Amino acid sequence: MSLSMGLGEAIRGRRSIGRVKQEPIAKEIIETLLEAAAWAPSHHATEPWRFYVMVGEGRRILAEAYADIAVEHSRGVVAEDEEAALRAKHGSKAFRAPVVIAAAVSPSNAPGVNRMEEFAAVHSAVQNMLLAAHAMGLGAIWRSGEPMYHPRMKQAFGLADAEEVVGLIYLGYPDIQQPHGKREPVAAKTVWLQG
């Protein structure tokens, strides 16, 4: 499977697809997406992205992290006998797609490298991956939120103190119709500074 869609079409047509089939995705397709991600720009050519591809029972690592975080946040709110149900509910999030890719930033500590630019590079890599997934007929959604930034999530992927998970990309073949998109006119968000 190749990237055959035009760039403009991919940019305008890509949507977050949160419901996908559990049909497996070939390793070669996943590798194509990762390769697209790796061509993102990075200041000082640091390439600070790290990807953790979870398929099959490999998603259990994410499920356990989700469950542990949910239990920690519910202490004093949920009775102990309800903990197993809470763990199952939050752990099931890891199995919403046949492939989940954790995208992390591993910032360079080289002189002149700005930590914020390292995050921007990984965000760009994720966008490349999302566009490539759409061009290849896959559904994808970039999920983030508080669990991504919890120390337990960093521990799940063996990240060092300076590293961070920036999001989870859920991938599969779409199980819903492609939603229509809309954007405000870019002119409303543009300021021209001219001499």
Q: Is 96 annotated as a binding residue?
A: no
Q: Is the confidence at residue 179, as pLDDT, over 60? A: yes
> 187, 191, 190, 171: which is closest to 55 by C-alpha?
171
pLDDT given at position 3 = 62
Looking up residue 171, the CATH number of its domain turns out to be 3.40.109.10
Specify the pLDDT at position 4.
62
Query: Where does the chain have alpha helices with state H?
Result: 7-13, 27-37, 60-74, 83-91, 115-135, 151-156
- pLDDT digits over 100-148, tens only? 999 999 999 999 999 999 999 999 999 999 999 999 999 999 999 999 9
User: How many domains are there within the chain?
Assistant: 1
Residue 194 lies in a domain: no
Is residue 184, in this structure, part of any structural domain at all? no
In this prediction, residue 6 carries a pLDDT of 79
According to the annotation, is 14 in a ligand binding site? yes
Any domain includes 49: yes
Structural domain includes residue 40: yes
The pLDDT value given to residue 126: 97
44 among annotated binding-site residues? no
Establish if 189 belongs to a structural domain.
Answer: no
Q: Is 123 buried (19+), middle (13-18) or exposed (0-12) by CB count in 10 A?
A: middle
Structural domain for 114, as ranges = 7-176
Q: Is position 43 annotated in a ligand binding site?
A: yes
142 is in an annotated binding site: yes
Was 115 annotated as part of a binding site?
A: no
Residue 15 labeled ligand binder: yes
Q: Is residue 171 part of a domain?
A: yes
